[in-house]
Structure 1
Amino acid sequence: MTETAALSSDIAIDVHGLSKSFNGREVVHDLSMQVKRGTIYGFLGPNGSGKTTTIRMLCGLLTPDRGEGTCLGYDIRRDADRIKRHVGYMTQRFSLYQDLSVRENLEFVARLYGVREPRRAARDMIARIGLTGREEQLAGELSGGWKQRLALGACALPDPQLLLLDEPTAGVDPKARREFWNEIHALAAQGLTVLVSTHYMDEAERCHEIAYIAYGHLLAHGTVDEVIANSALTTWTVTGDDLNALAAELAGKPGLDMVAPFGTSLHVSGRDGTALEAAVAPYRQRAGLRWQHSEPSLEDVFIELMSRSRDNFQ
């Protein structure tokens, strides 16, 4: 496949049966998925569940033990070097030079990747990511939110077709996170495909599609609405007095797959609606409690999936 044909396909990633083990432990098991170009695809799951390993295999940065597929039209096994030329990777840890200024960092990246007119490219990116006025500030003196913007700008500067973000906003305040995600959506609207791992439910809800991975197994994927609907969860929201005591009483009862506090309320959920109703019936008339049917949230689904996931490292 020619370079132009590979990059013009509507499908950015198409993989089947990927598996990977380290030191005899299977980290990813028989994973298949397809990602459309211009999609923001979110990966959720417990720490150590194989999210980063999955992302690296999807784009040819890590060779799977089994399975096959393509990324940007290139074979993930044979064409890893060609794939890498079109991928930007932003890690959790700030990886630019702390003792260089914002401008110097971006000019260095531009020259490193052979971008035409590196000074102009750096100047344009500074304006784009909202760092005008901070050009000469040392990167090490930036706040967490500004550092993330700079790191994103550096990743986007070589004009990649695929961007990998590994928990990019960990430790960043809500306002900075929202601004960061506005820029991600702007990049995706221009055709950039984004793979992002996150633990934040509000960030997951801003993805076009999500995948939940637990200890190497893909348990759910699709749009947020599809994942919630396919969970088949029925949820009660309980408000009132002494919810901690109620949670302790309900925990582990047959028919209840999740009992979790949410602010001043308690969410009680189950996949079998009939069994759930039977389990909560004795508590529905208890004085001081108010029970109301509610739609399960993505966090409800996340917690319920986590509760029935088995850690393969134990």
Structure 2
Amino acid sequence: MTSRPAAIEASGLYVSRARTAILCGLDFTVDSGRITGLLGPSGSGKTTLMRAIVGVQRITRGTLVVLGLPAGSSPLRADVGYVTQGASVYPDLSVEANVRYFGAMHSATTADAAEAIAAVGLESLARQKAADLSGGQFSRVSLACALVARPRLLILDEPTVGLDPVLRAELWERFAAMAAAGTTLLVSSHVMEEASHCSSLLLLRDGLLLAQLTPAELAERGRSADLERAFLTIIKAADRGQEERPVAP
């Protein structure tokens, strides 16, 4: 079977701010056309890594290649979508106007905007002002604004925060459909139960990459079908390894 090309490749990746190491020597690959979960507790470096991938975070050392080009390269602007935790939409505009505005930057048509709105399940609210939507609906407008550009790589920073279980399930179904159609998704979360929706997982803690593995491998390595418990087992093992490591004189 032919292996999928890498959408993201990191080698010896370091990011520091104010002399504080945020990411410490990360090495990983993200395959194309799949959902990769970026998982770890708050403060582990997930958002910093995502910002580095989209080119808005300076890299201190190492290499980071995105879709075959150095992260942040100008040609990537049309191919990489980024949805932050804070929804980036205009509250005084309608759902449709927001999506058409962002789509215009990528020469998207009215039909493209309608398709993006449908993809996040907001067709019935297309003419409604974003300010009048619920929190979950507001977040989905931001996602539609990213989808309208038809990015080859979509970076999502904790997109399910604050959503009820039904909406979370619907959103993951949409992510799976996008991956099946060829889009690469990197989705961050601190909710370990969401790991089961991903093809591959990057486990971060304190700026270190503890492992890159599948959900099944996580369960096996962590000796538990409960993925949160399995992750905690890996964290404790990593902490013990650091304690037992000889201190340089």
* Structure-1 residue corresponding to 2:144: 153
Shift of 1:130: 2.1
Given the alignment of the two structures, is residue 175 of structure 1 paired with residue 166 of structure 2, yes or no?
yes
- Give runs of ≥4 in structure 1 deviating > 6 Å: none
For residues 68 and 145 of structure 1, the distance between their equivalents in structure 2, rounded to whole angstroms, comes to 36
* Contact 1:41–1:211 (CA under 8 A) maintained in structure 2: yes
* Structure-2 residue corresponding to 1:98: 91
* Structure-2 residue corresponding to 1:81: 74
Matched AA of 2:67: L
What secondary structure is seen at the aligned counterpart in 1 of 2:12? strand
* Structure-2 residue corresponding to 1:193: 184
Q: Which has the larger radius of gyration?
A: 1
What secondary structure is seen at the aligned counterpart in 2 of 1:165? strand
TM-score by length of 2: 0.88
Shift of 1:145: 2.3
Given the alignment of the two structures, is residue 22 of structure 1 paired with residue 17 of structure 2, yes or no?
yes
Distance change (3 Å), C-alpha of 1:85 and 1:125? closer
* Contact 1:214–1:309 (CA under 8 A) maintained in structure 2: no
* Runs of 5+ consecutive residues of structure 2 not aligned to the other structure: 240-249
Deviations 1:141-187 (CA, angstroms, capped at 9, x unpaired): 11122223222111110111111111111111010111111111111
For residues 217 and 49 of structure 2, the distance between their equivalents in structure 1, rounded to whole angstroms, comes to 22
RMSD between aligned residues: 1.8
Bigger fraction of residues in helix: 2
- 1:304 equivalent among 233, 238, 241: 233
Distance change (3 Å), C-alpha of 1:75 and 1:298? same
For residues 195 and 214 of structure 2, the distance between their equivalents in structure 1, rounded to whole angstroms, comes to 10
For residues 212 and 180 of structure 2, the distance between their equivalents in structure 1, rounded to whole angstroms, comes to 22
Distance change (3 Å), C-alpha of 1:112 and 1:305? same
Given the alignment of the two structures, is residue 12 of structure 1 paired with residue 3 of structure 2, yes or no?
no
For residues 296 and 103 of structure 1, the distance between their equivalents in structure 2, rounded to whole angstroms, comes to 42
* Contact 2:6–2:29 (CA under 8 A) maintained in structure 1: yes
* Structure-2 residue corresponding to 1:33: 28
Larger RCO, structure (CA 8 Å, separation 6 or more): 2
* Structure-2 residue corresponding to 1:5: none
For residues 50 and 67 of structure 1, the distance between their equivalents in structure 2, rounded to whole angstroms, comes to 16
Shift of 1:197: 0.8
What secondary structure is seen at the aligned counterpart in 2 of 1:205? helix
Given the alignment of the two structures, is residue 207 of structure 1 paired with residue 198 of structure 2, yes or no?
yes
What secondary structure is seen at the aligned counterpart in 1 of 2:89? coil
TM-score by length of 1: 0.71
Map residues 37-76 of structure 1 onto 2, 5 A cutoff: 37-76=32-71
Provide the identity percentage.
36
